[in-house]
C-alpha cells in the first residue's frame, strides 16, 4: 500500500470529521502604511468554527512565488470563535496567494488567492481561458 | 531554525534547479528563454501524479523529469538548427505555448470527496503529498537540498571530465568542434534534454513545496531569472549558477530596504555585470585562479 | 589516399573551385599553391565538409566522403588546421588537446564512459607527448586565448595530431611566421611524414613549400593549371606567369 493511501485511511479512521472541507474566509483592511494589511480570518469545518488552532500565514506572488515571498506571521485568536487576526506586510499591491498552515486540533493547509489594493483585499477573480 | 529562513532556503534550492538548467544550455552555447516551461511541466506532471494518481513523490519526480526532458527535446529538435537569437526566441515562444496549455488544462478527479487537479487559470491546489507524509518544512528543505547537492555533485564531476571540456568546446565554437569530429547536434540535444529534466525536477519539488500551482507561476519572468542567475553567478563552474540564486534571493531577501524596488535593483545588477563581467562572477579565469590557490 | 574528381563549388556566380581533380598518394607531402583567392582554402573546406560541393566527388581511402557530415569525415582520420587560427580560447592548452581525441582508435580503445566521464589521468601520457612535440609543455594550463601567435599555431598543429589523423590538411601554417619558426615547422612536418601521416599543405610561403613537398599542384581561379615536382613547378612558365606575376612571394 502506498504512503498516501495509508495516511488518508489513517486520517479517516482517526477523525471522521477530517473528511470535511475546511472553509476559510479572509477580510483585510489597508492600514495606510504601504502594503501593510490588518486581516481577520474565519475558519470553519462543517459549519463548526475551528478554535485553538495555531495558524501561520504566508504570502507569495503568483509570478515568481519563490522570489516574492513574504515572511510568514502567526495569527492570534480574535474575538469571535474561529476567528484569527494577523497583520500582513506585502511587497506590493496586486494578487497574492495567501498560504495558511493550521496546526493543533486541526492539521491543514490552504491557499487563498486575494487581490490587495488601497481599499483592502478581495478574492481574485480570473477569467478562464476558453 | 526560523520558519521563514527555512522557506527562503527551500526557495533558493528550488530556483537552484532552474539556474542549473539554464547554465547547462548556456554552456552548450545557446540561450534559452524557455526553461520555465520545463519547470512548469515538471510541476504539473509531478503534482498530478501524486495528488490525482496517488503516486509516491520520488516516483512522480522521476516521471516528471522524463516528461521535462522529452518536452525539451521536442522543442529543440525543430528549433536547434536555428542559431543564437532565433533559438532564444523559439524557446520563448514554445514556453508561452506551454503556459497557455496549462491555462487550458482542466482535468479534475474526486479525491476524498474533493475535486483535485488542474483547473485552468484557477490553478491546481491540493498537492498535499508532503503534508500528508507528515514531512515538516525543515524536512522538506533537507530533501530539496539533498537532491540539489546530488545533482550539483554529478554535474561537477561531469564538468571536470572530458565531457565537460567537450561541452564547453561545442559551446564556444560549434563549427570547430565539428571539425574535430564531434557531433555537435547530438551534444546539444543531450544537454538540452538534461536541462529539461533538471528544470522539471525543480518544478516537481516546487509544486510539492507550494501545494498550489497556477499557470502564471511559469511565465517568462521565471525563465529570465533562471537565465540571469546563471549569467550573474558565472559560466566557469556549475557552482556559479547557485551563487547567482543565493545572491538574488538570499541577499536581496535579507536586505529588505530594496523591498518593492527589488526588480529594478536586480535588473540593474544584471546589466552592470554583463558589461563588467560578460561571463559572470565565477568566470573561467576566476575559477582557474581559485583552483590554483587550492591545489 | 585522397582523391578529388571534378570538385566544383560556386558561391553565387563565383566559381571558387572549378572542376578540380587531385590525387594525393599515401605517405606523401602534397603542396597546393596558388595566388590569393585561387580556391585553396575553399578546397580544404570542401574536403572537411564545411560547405557542400556543387558538383564532383571526394574519395578518401576509396570511400565516398562528400555525403558525410563534417564530424563523420574527421572520424575517418582527417584532421586540419585553419588559415585563421581557431582554438577554444576559453579552454586550456591541455583541454584543447583533450577534446580533440576523437580518433577511431580512441573510440575503440576506451569505453563510452571512460572516454567521456573518465578523468585526466588516462589521457595524460599522450597529451604530454603532444605538448612536448609542439614545445608547449610549460603552457599546459594556460588558456589558449592567452598564447602568443606562434604558440597558437603550434597548438593548432598539436590538436590536429591529437586526432591521430591519417591525412592532415595544413591551411597556411606558416602565415605570419619568421624564418626561424618556419624552419621549426618544416622539421615538424617532416617528422609527421616519418610517422606515416599523409599531408596536404596549402601554403603561400615558397621557402616552406619548395623545401618539404614531394609534389605540388597549382591553382588559379579555382582551376588546376599545373602539377608536378617542386623543381618542375618552379620551372613552369605558366605558373611563373599566373603565380609569381600575381604579386605574391
A54: domain CATH number? 2.60.40.1930
| Residue B15: inside a domain | yes
pLDDT above 50 for A17: no
Between helix B137-160 and helix B238-245 the angle, nearest 10°, is: 150
The rounded average pLDDT for each run of 10 residues, N- to C-terminus, in chain B (295 residues) is: 84 95 94 95 96 94 97 92 84 95 92 87 90 89 97 94 93 91 92 97 96 93 92 92 88 65 78 87 88 79
Helix residue ranges per DSSP H, C18-148? 40-48, 70-75, 93-98, 104-109, 112-117, 124-133
Residue C105: Cβ within 10 Å count: 12
- By the CB < 8 Å criterion, does B158 face chain C? yes
Q: Which of C163, C183, C199 is the endpoint of a domain?
A: C163
pLDDT above 60 for C162: yes
Strand order in the sheet with C198-202: C78-80, C167-171, C198-202, C29-33, C215-220, C223-228
Asked if residue C76 lies in contact with residue C27, where contact means CB atoms within 8 angstroms, the answer is: no
Residue contact A4–B8, C-beta within 8 A:
no
Closest to C41 in 3D by CA, of C66, C19, C11, C17: C17
Asked if residue A49 lies in contact with residue A40, where contact means CB atoms within 8 angstroms, the answer is: no
Cell numbers 582551376: residue: C223
- What confidence tier does C248 reach under pLDDT thresholds 50, 70, 90? very low
| Residue C42: inside a domain | yes
Radius of gyration of chain B (CA): 19
**Structure-block grid coordinates of residue C133:** 612535440
Q: What is the DSSP string of A34-77?
A: TTEEEEEEEEEETTEEP-S-EEEEEEE-SSSTTTSEEEEEE-EE
Question: In residues, how long is chain A?
Answer: 130
pLDDT above 60 for C246: no
Q: How many interchain CB pairs under 8 A, B with C?
A: 83
DSSP state of C90: T
Domain match, C96 and C204 both: no
Radius of gyration of chain A (CA): 16
Asked if residue B61 lies in contact with residue B121, where contact means CB atoms within 8 angstroms, the answer is: no
Regarding predicted confidence, which is higher, A63 or B165?
B165
Closest to A100 in 3D by CA, of A86, A120, A119: A86
| Residue C108: inside a domain | yes
Cell numbers 597548438: residue: C155
Residue-range definition of the domain harbouring residue B55: 3-218
| Residue C190: inside a domain | yes
- Name C189's Cβ contacts closer than 8 Å, sequence gap at least 6: C29, C170, C173, C199, C201, C212
3-state secondary structure of A26: strand
| Residue C113: inside a domain | yes
C125 by Cβ neighbours in 10 Å (0-12 / 13-18 / 19+) ranks as exposed
Q: What is the mean pLDDT of chain A?
A: 81
Domain match, C66 and C186 both: yes
Q: What is the pLDDT of residue C96?
A: 95
Q: What is the pLDDT of residue A2?
A: 55
A80 — alpha (psi -120 to 50), left (phi > 0) or beta? Answer: beta
Per CB-CB distance under 8 Å, the chain B contacts of C99 are: 162, 165-166, 169, 177, 180, 182
The closest CB to that of A109, out of B7, B211, B217, belongs to B211
Domain match, C236 and C191 both: yes
Closest-CA distance of chain C to residue B184, Å: 8
Give the integer Cα–Cα distance in Å for B227 and B248. Answer: 12
- By the CB < 8 Å criterion, does B14 face chain A? yes
Residue contact B212–A97, C-beta within 8 A:
yes
Task: Provide the CA C175 distance to its chain's centre, in angstroms.
Answer: 13
Q: What is the pLDDT of residue A130?
A: 47
| Residue B278: inside a domain | no
Q: What is the DSSP string of B218-231?
A: GSHHHHHHHHHHHH
Between helix B84-104 and helix B220-233 the angle, nearest 10°, is: 140
Asked if residue C49 lies in contact with residue C70, where contact means CB atoms within 8 angstroms, the answer is: yes
Closest to B49 in 3D by CA, of B204, B238, B211: B204
- By the CB < 8 Å criterion, does B217 face chain A? yes
Give the integer Cα–Cα distance in Å for B182 and A92. Answer: 51
Q: Which of C111, C138, C163 is the endpoint of a domain?
A: C163
A64-75 pLDDT, tens per residue? 778 778 888 999
Per CB-CB distance under 8 Å, the chain B contacts of C102 are: 180-182
C185-231 pLDDT, tens per residue? 999 999 999 989 999 999 888 888 888 999 999 998 888 988 999 98
Closest to B228 in 3D by CA, of B87, B12, B13, B23: B23
Domain match, C158 and C52 both: no
Q: How many domains does the structure of chain A reveal?
A: 1
Residue-range definition of the domain harbouring residue A106: 20-123
pLDDT above 90 for C30: yes
Q: Which of C146, C163, C180 is the endpoint of a domain?
A: C163
Domain match, C70 and C188 both: yes
Asked if residue C93 lies in contact with residue C140, where contact means CB atoms within 8 angstroms, the answer is: yes
Q: How many domains does the structure of chain B reveal?
A: 1
DSSP state of A104: S
| C-alpha dihedral (C179, C183, C185, C190), degrees to nearest 10 | 150
| Residue B270: inside a domain | no
| Residue A30: inside a domain | yes
pLDDT above 50 for A96: yes
Give the integer Cα–Cα distance in Å for A21 and B82. Answer: 51
Residue contact A69–B112, C-beta within 8 A:
no
Q: Could you give the C-alpha distances from C244 to B270, C36, C83, C204, C241, in angstroms and in order?
A: 56, 11, 21, 11, 6
pLDDT above 60 for A1: no
- Name C54's Cβ contacts closer than 8 Å, sequence gap at least 6: C8, C9, C10
A40-51 pLDDT, tens per residue? 999 988 888 888
* Binding-site residues on chain C for chain B (CB distance < 8 A): 48, 50, 69-71, 74-75, 79-80, 82, 86-92, 95-96, 98-103, 115-119, 123, 141, 143, 159, 163
- Can chain A be said to touch chain C, i.e. do they have 3 or more Cβ pairs within 8 angstroms? no
DSSP state of C221: T
Average pLDDT over residues A37-42: 93
Domain match, C207 and C229 both: yes
Q: What is the pLDDT of residue B27?
A: 93
Per CB-CB distance under 8 Å, the chain C contacts of B81 are: none
Q: What is the pLDDT of residue B255?
A: 65
pLDDT above 60 for C151: yes
Q: What is the pLDDT of residue A12?
A: 44
DSSP state of A127: P
Domain match, C38 and C14 both: yes
Asked if residue C60 lies in contact with residue C78, where contact means CB atoms within 8 angstroms, the answer is: yes
pLDDT above 50 for C247: no
DSSP state of B33: S
The closest CB to that of A7, out of B15, B132, B259, belongs to B132
| Residue C82: inside a domain | no
Domain match, C38 and C92 both: no
ipTM of the complex: 0.86
Q: What is the pLDDT of residue C244?
A: 61
How would you classify the pairing of strands A83-89 and A36-45?
A: antiparallel
Q: How many domains does the structure of chain C reveal?
A: 2
Domain match, C99 and C45 both: no
Residue-range definition of the domain harbouring residue C36: 1-77+165-249
Q: What is the mean pLDDT of chain C?
A: 88
Average pLDDT over residues C93-117: 85
Asked if residue A83 lies in contact with residue A77, where contact means CB atoms within 8 angstroms, the answer is: yes
Amino acid at each position: 500500500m502506498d504512503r498516501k493511501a495509508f495516511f488518508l485511511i489513517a486520517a479517516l479512521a482517526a477523525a471522521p470529521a477530517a473528511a470535511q472541507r475546511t472553509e476559510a474566509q479572509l477580510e483585510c483592511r489597508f492600514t495606510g502604511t504601504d502594503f501593510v494589511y490588518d486581516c481577520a480570518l474565519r475558519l470553519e469545518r462543517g459549519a463548526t468554527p475551528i478554535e485553538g488552532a495555531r495558524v501561520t500565514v504566508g504570502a507569495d506572488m503568483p509570478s515568481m512565488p519563490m522570489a516574492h515571498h513574504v515572511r510568514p506571521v502567526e495569527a492570534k485568536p480574535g474575538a469571535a470563535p474561529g476567528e484569527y487576526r494577523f497583520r500582513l506586510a506585502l511587497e506590493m499591491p496586486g494578487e497574492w496567494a495567501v498560504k495558511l498552515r493550521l496546526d493543533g486540533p486541526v492539521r491543514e493547509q490552504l491557499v487563498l488567492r486575494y487581490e490587495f489594493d488601497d481599499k483592502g483585499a478581495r478574492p481574485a477573480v480570473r477569467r478562464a481561458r476558453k | 531554525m526560523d520558519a521563514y529562513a527555512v522557506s527562503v532556503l527551500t526557495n533558493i534550492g528550488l530556483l537552484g534547479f532552474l539556474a542549473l538548467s539554464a547554465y547547462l544550455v548556456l554552456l552548450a552555447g545557446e540561450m534559452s528563454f524557455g526553461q520555465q516551461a520545463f519547470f512548469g511541466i515538471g510541476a504539473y506532471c509531478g503534482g498530478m501524479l501524486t495528488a490525482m494518481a496517488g503516486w509516491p513523490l520520488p516516483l512522480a519526480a522521476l516521471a516528471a523529469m522524463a516528461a521535462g526532458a522529452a518536452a525539451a527535446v521536442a522543442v529543440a529538435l525543430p528549433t536547434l538548427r536555428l542559431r543564437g537569437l532565433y533559438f532564444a526566441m523559439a524557446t520563448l515562444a514554445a514556453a508561452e505555448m506551454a503556459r497557455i496549455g496549462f491555462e487550458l488544462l482542466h482535468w479534475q478527479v474526486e479525491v476524498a470527496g474533493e475535486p483535485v487537479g488542474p483547473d485552468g487559470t484557477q490553478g491546481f491546489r491540493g498537492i498535499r503529498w508532503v503534508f500528508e507524509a507528515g514531512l515538516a518544512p525543515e524536512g522538506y528543505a533537507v530533501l530539496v537540498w539533498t537532491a540539489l547537492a546530488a545533482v550539483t555533485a554529478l554535474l561537477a564531476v561531469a564538468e571536470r571530465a572530458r565531457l565537460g571540456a567537450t561541452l564547453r568546446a561545442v559551446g564556444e565554437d560549434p563549427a570547430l568542434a565539428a571539425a574535430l569530429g564531434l557531433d555537435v547536434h547530438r551534444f546539444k540535444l543531450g544537454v538540452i534534454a538534461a536541462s529539461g529534466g533538471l528544470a522539471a525536477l525543480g518544478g516537481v519539488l516546487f509544486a510539492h513545496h507550494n501545494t498550489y500551482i497556477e499557470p502564471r507561476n511559469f511565465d517568462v519572468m521565471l525563465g529570465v531569472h533562471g537565465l540571469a542567475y546563471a549569467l550573474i553567478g558565472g559560466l566557469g563552474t556549475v557552482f556559479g549558477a547557485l551563487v547567482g540564486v543565493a545572491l538574488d534571493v538570499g541577499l536581496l531577501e535579507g536586505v529588505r530596504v530594496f523591498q518593492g524596488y527589488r526588480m529594478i535593483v536586480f535588473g540593474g545588477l544584471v546589466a552592470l555585470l554583463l558589461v563588467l563581467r560578460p561571463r559572470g562572477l565565477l568566470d573561467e579565469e576566476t575559477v582557474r585562479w581559485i583552483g590554483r590557490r587550492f591545489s | 589516399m585522397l582523391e578529388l574528381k571534378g570538385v566544383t563549388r560556386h558561391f553565387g556566380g563565383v566559381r571558387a573551385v572549378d572542376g578540380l581533380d587531385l590525387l594525393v598518394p599515401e605517405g606523401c607531402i602534397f603542396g597546393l599553391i596558388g595566388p590569393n583567392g585561387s580556391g585553396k582554402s575553399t578546397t580544404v573546406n570542401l574536403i572537411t565538409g564545411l560547405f557542400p560541393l556543387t558538383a564532383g566527388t571526394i574519395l578518401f581511402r576509396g570511400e565516398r566522403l562528400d555525403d558525410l557530415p563534417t564530424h563523420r569525415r574527421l572520424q575517418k582520420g582527417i584532421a586540419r588546421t585553419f588559415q585563421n587560427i581557431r582554438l577554444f580560447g576559453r579552454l586550456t592548452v591541455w583541454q584543447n588537446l583533450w577534446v580533440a581525441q576523437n580518433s577511431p582508435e580512441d573510440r575503440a580503445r576506451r569505453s563510452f564512459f571512460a572516454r567521456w566521464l573518465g578523468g585526466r589521468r588516462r589521457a595524460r601520457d599522450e597529451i604530454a607527448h603532444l605538448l612536448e612535440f609542439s614545445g608547449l609543455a610549460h603552457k599546459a594550463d594556460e588558456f589558449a586565448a592567452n598564447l602568443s601567435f606562434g604558440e597558437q599555431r603550434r597548438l593548432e598543429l598539436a590538436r590536429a595530431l591529437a586526432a591521430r589523423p591519417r591525412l592532415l590538411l595544413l591551411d597556411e601554417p606558416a602565415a605570419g611566421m619568421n624564418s626561424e619558426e618556419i624552419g621549426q615547422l618544416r622539421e615538424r612536418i617532416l617528422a609527421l611524414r616519418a610517422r606515416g601521416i599523409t599531408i596536404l599543405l596549402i601554403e603561400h610561403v615558397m621557402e616552406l613549400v619548395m623545401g618539404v613537398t614531394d609534389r605540388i599542384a597549382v591553382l588559379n581561379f579555382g582551376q588546376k593549371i599545373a602539377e608536378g615536382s617542386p623543381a618542375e613547378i618552379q620551372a613552369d612558365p605558366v605558373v611563373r606567369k599566373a603565380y609569381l606575376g600575381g604579386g605574391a612571394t
